Amino acid sequence: MKNSFKYSVASLVVIGLGLSLLGEAIITKWNNTSDWFWLGCLALVICNTGFSLLGRAVIEKIREER
């Protein structure tokens, strides 16, 4: 299996997880509980990790075409 495909699938999973955590942070803030900030920070870190994996998939795709 090609590396670009592996990175693409991993990025989709990680971005989905980050967005789900972001939704949970929004719901937690709406309910006035105190841990929404840390949940939001974790969601931001996970989303950025997913975007980095997506960038890596693009780089691998370019390398495979050469």
Which one, of 6, 2, 7, lies nearest residue 55 by Cα? 7
Per-residue tokens: 32: 């006035």
pLDDT at 62: 93
Provide the sign of the torsion angle of the four alpha carbons 24, 28, 34, 37, taken in this order: positive
pLDDT digits (tens, 9 = 90+) for 7-64: 999 999 999 999 999 999 999 999 988 889 999 999 999 999 999 999 999 999 999 8
**H helices of the chain, where?**
3-30, 36-65
pLDDT at 53: 97
pLDDT at 44: 97
Provide the sign of the torsion angle of the four alpha carbons 58, 21, 19, 12, taken in this order: positive
pLDDT at 66: 83
Q: Is 33 left (phi over 0), alpha (psi -120 to 50) or beta?
A: beta
pLDDT at 49: 97
